[in-house]
Each structure stands twice: as C-alpha cells, then as structure tokens.
Amino acid sequence: MQLSLYSPISEGAITRGWTGWGEVAKKSYTSEYLSSNWLSCFDIGIRLSTYLGMPPPISSPYLLSTVKKACLQVSSLLPSKFRALLGIRQVQASSTSHLLELSNSGSFTAHFGLTRQFDEQPDNVKADYRTCWTPYLEAELQGAKLYLYAMTLALPAADDPKDDNIQSLHRETALQKGLMASTTLITNIMTLSLVPTDGNRYPVGALTFPPKQHFTTLFFATAYLFRFISSSHTATQQDRELAVTGLMDAHKIFQAFHKDRDHVRAAVHIETFVEILRLEYAADRRPSSTDLVTTSRLGASVMCDAVFCAARYRNRQSASGESGAPHTWRTTNDDAASRLPLAPKEKAATVSPPFDGQTTYEVEDTSWLEP
C-alpha cells in the first residue's frame, strides 16, 4: 500500500523517481504490472488474515473497489481459475469486514442474517466459473464458507438470558452447515491426492503441489469437525459418523506427508481430538458447551480453541486430571519428538534414519461412536 499499488498512476510519473527496485526497466512499471501486484497483495492478505484470525488488511469498500478495478485491468492476462479465486477472496474480505461491524451490536439475529446473505455469494462465484471449476477451487470455496460459519461460533455469550435460545439456534445451524462444508472440503482434498502425476513419482498425487494454505484449511476443517462432534445438540448418529469419517480421511492425508513437521503435528493433533471424543463418549458427557475458550481470533478461534483443548488434554495429570498452568505445558514438539522429522538446524547437526510413515495409532476405530 505504501507503493500506491492501488492508486491510478499517470504514465509520465509512474515511478516518481523511486528506484528501490534497482535497475529494473521503468517500462515494466505499467498499470497492468501494478494491478497484478495489487491483486497478489490482496490474495496474500486474505490468506494470512484467515490463518491468524485478524481483520483482512484490504477489506474497506474503497480498497475492495480498487481490487475490482485491478481485476478488470488485467482480466485478459489472468487465468479463469485465478479470477474465480479472487472472486471467493472478495467475498471473504467483505463478509469478515461487515460481520466485524456487527460484532459490538450484540444482535445475533442481524449477525446470522448477514451470514446467510454472504453464504450464498461463493456459490454465485462458482456458477460464474462452472466451466473451469476444479477440486482446488471447491476446497477454497468451502474453506471460505467454513470461516464464515466459525465467526458465529466465536461470538461472545449473550448478556441477556432471553437471547440464549436465539444464540443456541444460530450456533446449531452454523455447526450443521460447517459439517457439510468441512466434509466437502476434505473430500475435494482427497480428490487432489488421487490425481495421477507424471511417472507416479508422488504418492499423494497432485496434492504435492498446491500451496501450503490448503493444508491449513484442511486442518481448520478437522478442528471444526471436532467442535461439531463435541458440542452439537442436534447431531444424529449419521452426522457423527460422517464427521468421524472426515477426521479419518484428513488424518490419512497429513500422515502421508510424514517428512513434513507441520503435517505430522497436524496428524498428532487429530489423534488427540479423537482421544478426547472417545473419553467424552465413554463418560457419556456429550454434548458439551458450545462456548469456545479462545474467542479473540475471529473465525480462526475454532482452530485455535481445538489446538488449546488438545494441548490441555495431553498435559493433564493422571491422578487429578488437571492440566496445570498453560505456561508449564509440554508442546507437541516435546510429546511427539520421536515422530517429528528433524528441524533444519537438527538435520545439519544429526544424521538419523528416516521415519517410515507408519504409526500404531488406529484412528479408524469408530466403535466408541456406537450409541
């Protein structure tokens, strides 16, 4: 933004004497070049804000209008798939911005009404680009919807007890919609993993190549399924089995990347989610409260809360069942040290046999779900 990438720049003063990019030919600083950079900034901003649970940096009506202008400026240069992705991103930015404006009003009805309105917009993008639609775009679309539903779960509890029923109804609706979005997202990620590649050199198919945020969104979906199973008051046995199947499939995907530390950590967290759910079902303590412990990260609060619950469970004392103060907890790196690949600094100092990708953990066992 400091480079004024979103501002119209005259041909004669396009660089304004600024040479911070070295000896790059000034002729390359065309309006198309600047528009492409602005769209990249917009895309990256949405990715980071969704993961970190912060307001999108480019979300005001004025800045979104510059995104639309930039799209028109380079429409002939952009692949249809990227234009579709930018359409989804614009819905994400606009919905988050508008819902944030309502966050202080305390009107759950208004919040949910706006959520329903934005829930339809990604489908409109899909209809516009149906001829080039792919599992990659479908995963992005479902991730955007999931973040939208998660913002309902992150709302603070109602101050007026009379609003409790309204809030509970909206949360249940968000959980049910999130169930379908999560499982659809995971199914499309699984589809990418089955797409053959040249020479079959990659055991997870085309999933080897999508950017990292796909796996972040995949983990977000598993966190949402964990929240659904543990807190939905209206879930049927079929709903719970569908959610557990999603957890299984996501675990298989992460476990397939056994040489990546982030993916192994995600698999460990999913295993902990299942252990927590098994314990709750064994004690017949379902469903628990839908209130999140972590609520300060917008839609990402659901993911942060799930990780917090997993860490608290792994650090409980066997005698008392208490977990102690969070600052005393062991990390996932400590608990799963034998499974985690070496960090770059460790690789430079130590030579160890590679992990074979096998684990004795049986996440596929669903007998604990039987009513």
Give mean pLDDT, residues 177-193: 94
If one compares 62 and 286, the residue with the highest pLDDT of the two is 62
Provide the pLDDT for residue 303.
Answer: 96
Provide the pLDDT for residue 277.
Answer: 92
The whole-angstrom separation of Cα 176 and Cα 168 is 12
Give mean pLDDT, residues 46-55: 93
Quick count: other Cβ atoms within 10 Å of Cβ 198?
A: 6
Provide the pLDDT for residue 345.
Answer: 63
Provide the pLDDT for residue 33.
Answer: 80
Provide the pLDDT for residue 242.
Answer: 97
Q: What is the pTM of this model?
A: 0.85
Greatest mean pLDDT among 25-34, 131-140, 291-300, 331-340: 131-140
The whole-angstrom separation of Cα 139 and Cα 188 is 6
Percent of all residues in the chain with a pLDDT value above 70, rounded to a whole number? 78
Q: Is the pLDDT score of 69 beyond 50?
A: yes
As a whole number, the mean pLDDT across the chain is: 83
17-48 per-position pLDDT tens digit: 444 444 444 555 678 888 888 999 999 999 99
Provide the pLDDT for residue 143.
Answer: 96
Under the banding of pLDDT at 50, 70 and 90, the label for residue 9 is very low
Q: Is the pLDDT score of 255 beyond 50?
A: yes
3-state secondary structure 167-181: HHHHHHHHHHHHHHH
Under the banding of pLDDT at 50, 70 and 90, the label for residue 229 is very high
Write the CB contacts of 167 (distance below 8 Å, at least 6 apart in sequence): 108, 155, 157, 158
281-314 per-position pLDDT tens digit: 877 765 555 578 888 899 999 999 999 999 999 9
The whole-angstrom separation of Cα 45 and Cα 59 is 10
Amino acid at 328: T
Cα 141 vs. chain centroid, distance in angstroms?
A: 11
CB 311 within 8 A of CB 170: no
Give mean pLDDT, residues 177-192: 94
81-100 per-position pLDDT tens digit: 999 999 999 999 999 999 99
Greatest mean pLDDT among 67-76, 186-195, 240-249, 256-265: 240-249
Provide the pLDDT for residue 20.
Answer: 45
Q: Is the pLDDT score of 71 beyond 80?
A: yes
